[in-house]
Amino acid sequence: MSEQTGGATGTTTSPGATRATSSGSTSTASTGSTGSTASKRTSRTAASADRTAARKTSKTAASKTPASKTTARKTTKTAASKSAASGAAPAPAPAAAAAKPAESHAALVRRARRINRELAEAYPYAHPELDFDSPFQLLIATVLSAQTTDLRVNQTTPALFARYPAPEDMAAADPEAMEAILRPTGFFRAKTKSVIGLSAALRDRFGGEVPGRLEDLVTLPGVGRKTANVVLGNAFGVPGLTVDTHFGRLVRRFGWTTAQDPEKVESDVAELFPKSDWTMLSHRLIFHGRRICHSRKPACGACPIAPLCPSYGEGETDPAKAEKLLKYEKAGAPGQRLKPPADFPGPAAKPLEAS
């Protein structure tokens, strides 16, 4: 009996055991199903978390970008401020603020000729500021005017011409005696050599007469184009441009030329005016340069051609202050000639012994 029961037990499961087994199987299946569901939920949660994190990261990056731009702008402004404080050159102006177009040649000619007319009204008495009674005296006086004032030459030449009235007399002069006369003009030894040499050339090559051609004048010792044009224009009536330091300075300020070489300056200005204007134009420019348009501090506020001048503002623009910078007759003072023309509005200059 017991053997049968034992055999049955080995092959037959009791109802309790069956329920237990069934329950275990069900439990295992349930656990597997639950695990699978949890895994899926975990995956969905992780994916959702990743997406949320990605969105947050994107928003954070986006929110940081304006800050970066703001920082960049601040950095740029700071750099610009430092650049200005250090005196560095500012950034180029935008195209909208570009300079006005260059002046055409026709417009330049019109403006230049208008300036000449305005100067003619301001200086109707313009003239060569060297005293002379003959072409020979004008030639000698012009040579002596280098590196000194016309006033000093005018104060010196009366004694010179009284002692040596003609080229033949001056050519035979004792150098030491002439040096004593010319000492007040400066560089008197070199000037003595020049005037004796050119006087000898006039005596030997031109019969004691001053030639009336540029080509001949520039062959004389100490005579260049400027001196030749002074003599031709004022002693022979041959038009010429006198490119001295005042002439050159003013025509560059007026924008008539940018050249520094005197011959190029002469050529550029000659193209703007008829030849008949050249001599008087020279006198007007030199007068204006000596009286108002000074080298170091031009009196812009007292200038009659200020509206036509592209360099207006280089000097004093306040009218009251500018008026104090005027010279010679514009300031009520004597001019440079001891024997000025009758229409000159200022008093005559004083002789050397009275000055």
> pLDDT tens-digit profile of 230-245?
999 999 999 999 999 9
Other Cβ atoms less than 10 A from the Cβ of 336: the count is: 20
Q: Do the beta carbons of residue 135 and residue 236 sit within 8 Å?
A: yes
Side-chain-facing half-sphere of 95: CA atoms under 13 Å: 0
Domains along the chain with CATH numbers: 104-128+239-355 (1.10.1670.10), 134-238 (1.10.340.30)
The active-site residue, picked from 131, 150, 244, 277, is 244
Structure tokens, 56: 């947050």
Coil, strand or helix at 166: coil
Q: pLDDT tens digits, residue range 134-184?
A: 999 999 999 999 999 999 999 999 999 999 999 999 999 999 999 999 999
Confidence of residue 32 (pLDDT cuts 50, 70, 90): very low
pLDDT for residue 102 is more than 60: yes
Per mean pLDDT, which range of 27-31, 160-164, 193-197, 233-237 is the poorest?
A: 27-31
- Asked about 343 being catalytic, the answer comes back as no
Please answer whether residues 134 and 218 qualify as being in contact, where contact means their C-beta atoms are separated by less than 8 angstroms. no
Top mean-pLDDT range of 28-37, 82-91, 282-291: 282-291
Q: Locate tokens 């007026």: which residue?
A: 254
Question: What's the mean pLDDT in 264-288?
Answer: 98
Residue found under tokens 């500018």 = 322
Q: Which of 106, 108, 109, 77 is nearest to 273 (CA)?
A: 109
Which residue ranges make up the annotated binding site for [4Fe-4S] cluster? 293, 300, 303, 309
pLDDT tier, 307 (very low <50, low <70, confident <90, very high otherwise): very high
The residue from 131, 150, 191, 226 that is catalytic is: 226
* pLDDT at residue 352, rounded to an integer: 86
Instruction: Examine the residue annotation and report whether 226 is marked as an active-site residue of this protein.
Output: yes
pLDDT band at 353 (very low <50, low <70, confident <90, very high): confident
pLDDT at 35 over 60: no
Instruction: Return the pLDDT at 299.
Output: 98
CA distance 174 to 176: 6
Q: What is the CA 235 to chain-centroid distance, rounded?
A: 38
Place of tokens 């023309």: 341
- Long-range CB contacts for residues 225-229, cutoff 8 Å, separation at least 24: 225/262, 225/263, 225/266, 226/262, 227/139, 227/142, 227/143, 229/282
